[in-house]
């Protein structure tokens, strides 16, 4: 006759563990949370009881009593097709997951759409549903980062909004990556090296252009604005930009596109114009995505250590939650040029 109504799916409670180990609830709690102020003998007894009973702490109770949730949110901008595209999303998730594996932190996935939703989100996040927030694909005008900062919620973003980012961030070295791409083209004897840029309100895209410019002047290939065509990270945008470049500088012999997808668009146009890759025009992309590997010819591309970025973001966030380093680290991870057939 249901002496005790089945609590929580019949799982043992801390109290039961304590009783079994012959100690008090407080002591059992101490052992489970790794407090040092427990005698070895007692500790063993509690640990044995935990094992025998298959005790797993109730998260909700913990969260309620401890005023924390042991959960972090990965906030993903839903409308951004780009972020969802290979390889970004999967790899970030994989990296974050790896960093969290040894922790008992949970990963909450939160898809948000427009700015209104983002504001509402800030409220929800603070209503103590998470201990910290991972932000990806943040635009310069995004209200969320500042909101989180005001609320004092630990947060780390991938990429930065500007050179003087106030939140903790993990970025890849877009500047050096672009430089390496241009350097490689130069070393292959290319002179009329053009670039197709990403949207300039994305800091990373800015840096790729900066890197291009710096490498060009360093190579003594003075600035020629006709070699710079703006686009928006899309395939169609890449194609359009390539057409412009061809019109303005028909002698172009290399193109550095700030994303693989734009490179794919450019390739299409080059092919239609009868230019052979890499013989007539060398082509380099950015991201080292599946698109690059399967393009024909296989695309040389600048690889970002995305999985490692995810891992690093998670680690930085965990530190921040633990109350360490209040100095908002700005981490920049190296990029790497992956040379294939297109250059």
Question: Using CA atoms, how far apart are residues 159 and 168, in angstroms rounded to an integer?
Answer: 10
Restricted to residues 96-115, the positions that interact with a second copy (CB under 8 A) are 97-98, 101, 106-111
Query: Closer CB to a second copy, residue 74 or residue 182?
Result: 74
Buried b (16+ CB within 10 A) or exposed e, 26-45: ebbbbbbeeeeebeeebbeb
Residue 27 interacts with which of a second copy, DNA, none, CB < 5 to 8 Å by class: DNA
Query: Closer CB to a second copy, residue 97 or residue 230?
Result: 97
Query: Closer CB to a second copy, residue 89 or residue 175?
Result: 89
Question: Using CA atoms, how far apart are residues 263 and 302, in angstroms rounded to an integer?
Answer: 12
Helix (H, G, I), strand (E, B) or coil at 38: coil
Question: Is 9 a binder of a second copy (CB under 8 A)?
Answer: yes
Restricted to residues 125-144, the positions that interact with a second copy (CB under 8 A) are 126-129
Residue 295 interacts with which of DNA, a second copy, none, CB < 5 to 8 Å by class: a second copy
- Which pair of tokens denotes residue 282? 């060398």
Question: Using CA atoms, how far apart are residues 86 and 289, in angstroms rounded to an integer?
Answer: 6
**282-287 and 300-303 beta bridge pairing:** parallel
Residue 26 interacts with which of a second copy, DNA, none, CB < 5 to 8 Å by class: DNA
Smallest distance from a second copy to CB 191, Å: 28
Which of 15, 24, 52, 56 is in the footprint of a second copy by CB under 8 A? 56
Residue pair 134/74 in contact by the 8 Å Cβ criterion: yes
Phi/psi class of residue 22: alpha, beta or left (left: φ > 0; alpha: ψ in -120 to 50)?
A: left
Which residues are registered as beta bridge partners of 75? 110, 135
* Number of residues that this document lists for the chain: 343
Location of structure tokens 């002179």: 191
Which of 48, 51, 273, 290 is in the footprint of a second copy by CB under 8 A? 290
Query: Closer CB to DNA, residue 49 or residue 227?
Result: 49
- Which pair of tokens denotes residue 290? 């599946």
Query: Closer CB to a second copy, residue 49 or residue 215?
Result: 49
Query: Closer CB to DNA, residue 41 or residue 279?
Result: 41
The residue ranges that bind DNA (CB under 7 A) are 7-8, 11, 13-15, 22-27, 29-30, 32-33, 36-39, 41-42, 55, 57-58, 61-62, 64-67
Residue pair 209/173 in contact by the 8 Å Cβ criterion: no
- Which pair of tokens denotes residue 40? 């070895």
Question: Is 36 a binder of a second copy (CB under 8 A)?
Answer: no
| Site track 262-281 with a second copy (rule: CB under 8 A), x = hit | --x-----------------
Question: Is 25 a binder of a second copy (CB under 8 A)?
Answer: no
Smallest distance from DNA to CB 323, Å: 12
Contact partners, residue 340, CB within 8 Å, separation at least 6? 292, 293, 297, 298, 299, 300, 301
Residue 229: which of 214, 208, 244 has the closest Cα? 244
Residues that bind a second copy (CB under 8 A): 7-9, 11, 54, 56-64, 67, 69, 74, 78, 84-86, 89-90, 93-94, 97-98, 101, 106-111, 123-124, 126-129, 151, 264, 289-291, 294-296
């Amino acid at each position: 006759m249901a002496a005790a109504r089945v609590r929580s799916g019949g799982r043992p409670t801390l109290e039961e563990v304590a009783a079994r180990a012959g100690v008090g609830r407080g002591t059992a709690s101490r052992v489970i949370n790794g407090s040092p102020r427990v005698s070895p003998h007692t500790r063993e007894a509690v640990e044995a009881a935990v094992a025998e009973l298959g005790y797993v702490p109730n998260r909700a109770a913990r969260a309620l009593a401890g005023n924390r949730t042991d959960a972090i949110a990965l906030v993903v901008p839903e409308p951004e097709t780009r972020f969802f595209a290979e390889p970004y999303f999967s790899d970030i998730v994989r990296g974050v997951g790896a960093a969290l594996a040894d922790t008992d932190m949970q990963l909450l996935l939160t898809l948000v759409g427009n700015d209104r939703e983002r504001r509402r989100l800030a409220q929800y996040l603070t209503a103590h549903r998470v201990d910290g927030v991972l932000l990806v694909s943040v635009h310069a005008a995004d209200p969320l980062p500042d909101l989180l900062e005001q609320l004092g919620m630990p947060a780390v973003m991938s990429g930065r909004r500007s050179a003087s980012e106030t939140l903790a961030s993990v970025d890849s070295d877009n500047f050096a990556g672009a430089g390496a791409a241009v350097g490689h083209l130069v070393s292959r004897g290319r002179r009329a090296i053009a670039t197709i840029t990403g949207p300039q309100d994305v800091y990373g895209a800015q840096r790729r252009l900066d890197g291009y410019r710096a490498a060009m002047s360093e190579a003594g290939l003075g600035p020629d604005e006709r070699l710079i065509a703006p686009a928006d990270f899309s395939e169609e945008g890449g194609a359009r930009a390539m057409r412009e470049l061809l019109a303005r500088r028909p002698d172009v012999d290399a193109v550095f596109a700030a994303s693989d997808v734009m490179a794919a668009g450019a390739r299409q146009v080059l092919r239609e114009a009868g230019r052979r890759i890499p013989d007539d025009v060398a082509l380099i992309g950015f991201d080292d995505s599946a698109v690059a590997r399967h393009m024909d010819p296989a695309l040389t591309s600048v690889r970002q250590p995305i999985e490692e970025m995810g891992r690093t973001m998670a680690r930085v966030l965990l530190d921040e939650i633990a109350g360490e380093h209040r100095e908002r680290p700005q981490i920049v991870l190296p990029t790497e040029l992956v040379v294939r057939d297109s250059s």
